Chain A
């Protein structure tokens, strides 16, 4: 076990997988000579050379499609988007090519590719650079969507994503790169995709949170503990496929749910989770499910407005108290 940051955990995962499999390479803007815009790929060029660690022109549609094409004929690309905001340019290749290739070829062409990079809000980078896009990608069958919240999850899940034979959208949180945590040293440490993690056990209210909202939910749970409310915090980790069983199991125990997310509420992942809880555990609900989401506005620049747009501990505490009938 060592205590490292999410940034270092991701770096370790990529380094270990590059070393493990010749077919793996990483490409993206500033991943090589610059050591990565967010330093996730630091030192990799040195270690693996320009053949495996490739700086691309700013041409997201082009290199995303190039990665898919390379995956069609047997390579296992890791495509870094400097931020997921830029993946919007590449959606034709992600959605029309990567997600559907296996199906429309009748099972012939698998696409083992990882599209990764930071997503969600950053620090005052305004509307076009602060977007949580997971609900977009989660919508499409054929893609898997992963969002880690701890260094161990980041490493274990990224390694599984690289080894997976399907296209994986792997969204890291821009504000969380420096978060520290314990990570096993075992080079074969992986975490299976599609398995949720109970980040904290509790009995009164279930909080389902992912990515940036996991530490926020854990802080809220601490405060609530002092108020006599025991919260269970569940991190789905993989958004598609969603491990709804673990969530439902928890709801059956607590009977109350708060779903927290950084992204916009409309047609969001939380809307889907709530619906599935309703479908599978309606008779176990003692209160309506409460949703805590990012503000339904483009991300503002001003510090105070930005703070208001992102869910915080107080909002989760208030939501929990509401479903627990305390206020």
Chain B
């Protein structure tokens, strides 16, 4: 049942890689070839403009740019020592979160891995709350207790970033189960990297979701590296979309560098979820421009490979389409960029000036119903 509706040029990318993980990209980039490929992708993207108004299109661009600038600022803050621990950046993958989340309602659920700043922003969380969380401040979305990997917003249905590879997949399945159980038509978007596909949690979840008809949309963001291990070195069947077949689940392969392609694919999955209460597996091919985390030396891939994908930068691609379709001009784009930079600077200032959590917070939120050590009055059996 694997329906492959898109076939971008990098479709066979996985097979191009040798099993040793050494990329066989040419030492010298064939810029002419890359430019040709990019033109083709852009033409396909422009075909997808139909049905979207100016405001929606600019909104998508704005969201992607916000994530890009936010992550750039995060990197800066990390290097400056403002952010501790792990910090996994989303630069390069913006089209996936923005395209996918643009296809759902506010009351739908989103859950993601530890590379979730972008998804949190796309779900509507403020840059301030996320930056303050990165800074470990009391004003952060998780009161400074979660950090980079654990952004949450209950009101927005953002069920968090989760730190164990694949750990969020059963949770997403449970959220979808709750929608089914309660008879709502909510769907759940579950984002994870391609390395999570090798975890048992992925297979156990997909099996139950199809078995019980749960409206969960599994979005595998295939950025081709599980930390430093390329897909070729880690997965026997690298066509991830095909894995849906094992569970009779509808699946698609999507160009993750095209925000509109992602949006369209997710819209199809959402319809399947709402109308038929059925799950979908999407393999979204994307690429992260930065290391796995801020402490990644990046010695497992070549500069040429990174350049190849930067040529397909989803933001540059989309801005070019927008200009060519006369949705906006350069000046308009500059104004947006200026606005966003201000928003991000504001989040930085806010985070920097916010107070640290009160030391008393150490012991709060451990239990929803804490039991005091001394409860003599209730000691007697209630009978």
Residues of A within 8 A of B (CB): 25, 51, 56-57, 59, 61-75, 92-93, 96-97, 101-112, 141-142, 144, 152, 156, 164-166, 184, 186, 189-197, 238, 241, 243-246
Contact = CB atoms under 8 A, between A and B. Distances in A.
Contacts of A191: 381-382
Nearest to A77: B174
A106 B174 contact: no
Contact of A195 (B154, B163, B177, B378): B378
Interface stretch (B115-123, B135-143, B234-242, B345-353): B135-143
The 7 closest A-B pairs by CB, nearest first: A69-B174, A65-B170, A62-B204, A106-B143, A194-B371, A69-B171, A105-B152
A104 B171 contact: no
Contacts of B373: 241, 243-245
Given A75-B178, A189-B383, A62 B173 contact: yes
Contact of B367 (A62, A71, A97, A142): A142
Contacts of B269: none
Given A70-B175, A166-B368, 8 more contacts: A65-B174, A66-B171, A68-B170, A68-B171, A106-B142, A112-B368, A197-B381, A243-B375
A241 B371 contact: yes
B173 A109 contact: no
B152 A109 contact: yes
Interface string B136-175: 0000111111100010111000011011100101111111
9 contacts: A56-B208, A65-B167, A65-B205, A105-B154, A106-B365, A110-B368, A152-B381, A192-B382, A193-B371
Q: Using C-beta atoms within 8 Å of the partner chain, give the interface range for chain B.
A: 35 or more
Contact of A73 (B140, B175, B374, B376): B175
Interface string B32-50: 0000000000000000000
Interface of B: 109, 111, 140-146, 150, 152-154, 159-160, 162-164, 167, 169-179, 181-182, 200-201, 204-205, 207-208, 211, 364-369, 371, 373-376, 378-379, 381-383
Contacts of A64: 170
A106 B208 contact: no
B379 A246 contact: yes
A189 B383 CA distance: 6
Given A62-B207, A66-B170, A106-B144, A25 B181 contact: yes
A70 B142 contact: no
A165 B159 CA distance: 17
Nearest to A90: B170
Contacts of A166: 367-369
Most buried by A among B159, B174, B369: B174
A70 B204 contact: no
A70 B170 contact: no
A102 B201 contact: no
